[in-house]
Amino acid sequence: MTQSNREERVFWVGLAALLLVGIFLGVRAERGVRVVLSAQSGQSGGGTTVTADAEGQAMRVLLTELDAKSARIEQAPAADRDPFREPAPKLLAQTAPVPATPRPTPKPPPRVKPSLGALLYDEVNPSVQLRVGTLTSDWLHRGENFKDWTVVEIRPGAVTVSQDGDTVVLRPS
């Protein structure tokens, strides 16, 4: 058998299976509709009568439960709000407004002075490492900044740094 014949056969078998499933579901739906319609036409008062076959009994139980739910819904008190909208916010009892007390302006944190971490001095490119609090800078050169401290001058025995007009001379310890 060639590949195209096999594919054609699979196609027709699948189509037949699909057709059988459609027929089965159609017949089943038709039976359900018939049971419901016969139950509605045979209603007298509040009860439901259905044919006595097995499917009819199952449908009768379902319809009885549905009738009970419908009766409970009809007897329920009317809702006082729309269930599809958020309820209005509840208002709290109004109290006299409390006068606002001015908050004190926070004091700026104390300025942490830097310390000299390391000094590497040569005539061509001197560099320095600064420590401010627990932080240590990378190697800095003249004119570079670390935590708002600017390296002003690097000499063999001292480094001068400044911040906002405050100048500090750091020496190795």
Low-confidence winner among 15-29, 47-61, 70-84, 155-169 (lowest mean pLDDT):
47-61
Q: Do residues 8 and 70 both lie within one domain?
A: yes
Burial group, residue 129, by CB count within 10 angstroms (0-12, 13-18, 19+): middle
Q: For residue 155, what are the domain limits? A: 115-170
Residue 91 covered by a domain: no
Residues 126-148, mean pLDDT to the nearest whole number: 92
**Tens digits of residue pLDDT in 39-69:** 666 654 444 444 456 777 778 888 888 888 8
Judge whether 158 and 170 are in contact, CB under 8 Å.
yes
Percentage of the chain modeled with pLDDT above 90: 33
Segments of 40-158 assigned E as strands: 115-120, 127-132, 135-136, 145-146, 149-154
Residue 50 covered by a domain: yes
Mean pLDDT over all residues of the chain? Answer: 82
Q: Which CATH number does the domain housing residue 130 bear?
A: 2.30.30
Task: Say what the pTM is.
Answer: 0.39
